[in-house]
Structure 1
């Protein structure tokens, strides 16, 4: 899609690692001016070292005052991508600590909505907003009820918000298991075992790379005829 993103201003919330960083890399290569936000100074510095043209901002997406100040200083821009995520909420519902589920909402649902609502006045009407949800929203699998609540809530809102914001477009990409630093807390052996287990549950027989999700995000950003849509880029694990 040559020329679609050249000189466009893009904000990626949570863009210092994983899917967000892969999206930033593709957009910079396409000529966009990209600002990534995150809470970790170290991760933002690492992203900046890898792609020196990135603009980086330390920002807590649970802090509405910080968000409002950031977007006011940013001014008008073309595209917003929300890759904010947490790590809590999984487990069998009968024994799931509801405080964990609450933490899961605080790590993903509320930061995405806070950022979205704060940014709306500054996103160009010819631009786009793209959320990253998760395959758990559509899975009927034991142990994912809490994650389904978090991601399903986001996905259910998108068609209604699309009608409210028109002609500004809003969509979502729903990934399955992706090889990102999110898994690095595991030992290498545990991570390999988990990936083997999940790959066997996909129709593609493999774990996704972050660049594949970034491709889907750029499609939604660049195609001006798509809005109110969730693209499932999950290898079929949700089927």
Structure 2
């Protein structure tokens, strides 16, 4: 059996990095991308030799297209590109920041997928990483919900358009990743404790929790057009 070729866009930290580590253990040939050379160096230092890295600016369409052309054939694509802009109560929401949020996550995810299409195996898969803000209906998340909800609503449509290529998304709840670095450590700890008490699972998530579901979507060839929520039961 040939070695599975996986590209993880946004694989230098958090969920993307955990997914790279998990798939590398399965002996996949993994390539991670990210914009920051220092983060790339630090990420590769923690990963085995069957993981390669390439600095790619996912905001730049030409840069993405050039990377995909140089990489060539892809069996599975994981798009973990993210951003933190666009949160806050709507009456106070800076719409310029919301536009920046779309520019950081929504369009880079779609640009990456579109650029990868000529190189993806027809029997392969694409997994987008969204967030529960896309459907949780929580006050203060209308902007983030628009970004993630916009991606999620496209998933079943793309699954039909691009068949037999499988298109899914994983929608994480509160996960302890660098995404939360906008909060000071004490406030972040208090926030996590609050969510842990509210969740039936009794804790916030770890990147490895999401990586395990991504791997399942890669391997389960009967899963397509689905948005899988992984939130520790917080939305129940």
Shorter-normalised TM range: over 0.9
Deviation at 1:185, TM superposition (A): 4.2
Deviation at 1:94, TM superposition (A): 1.0
Q: 2:11 aligns with which of 12, 15, 18?
A: 15
Q: What CA distance in whole angstroms lies between the structure 2 residues aligned with 1:196 and 1:164? A: 42
Q: What CA distance in whole angstroms lies between the structure 2 residues aligned with 1:94 and 1:200? A: 29
Deviations 1:196-215, CA, capped at 9 Å, x for gaps: 12223323221001101000
Counterparts of residues 10-159 of structure 1 (less than 5 Å): 10-53=6-49, 54-159=51-156
- Does the Cα contact within 8 Å between 2:175 and 2:206 map onto a contact in 1? yes
Q: What CA distance in whole angstroms lies between the structure 1 residues aligned with 2:234 and 2:154? A: 22
Corresponding residue for 2:176? 179
Q: What CA distance in whole angstroms lies between the structure 2 residues aligned with 1:94 and 1:187? A: 25
**4+ runs deviating over 6 angstroms:** none
Q: Which runs of 5+ in 2 are unaligned?
A: none
Q: What CA distance in whole angstroms lies between the structure 1 residues aligned with 2:220 and 2:192? A: 32
2:233 pairs with 1:236: yes
Aligned CA-pair RMSD: 1.2
- Does the Cα contact within 8 Å between 1:135 and 1:237 map onto a contact in 2? no
TM-score, normalising length: structure 2: 0.96
2:217 pairs with 1:220: yes
Q: What CA distance in whole angstroms lies between the structure 2 residues aligned with 1:182 and 1:57? A: 21
The 3-state SS of whatever aligns with 2:27 is: coil
2:200 pairs with 1:203: yes
TM-score, normalising length: structure 1: 0.95
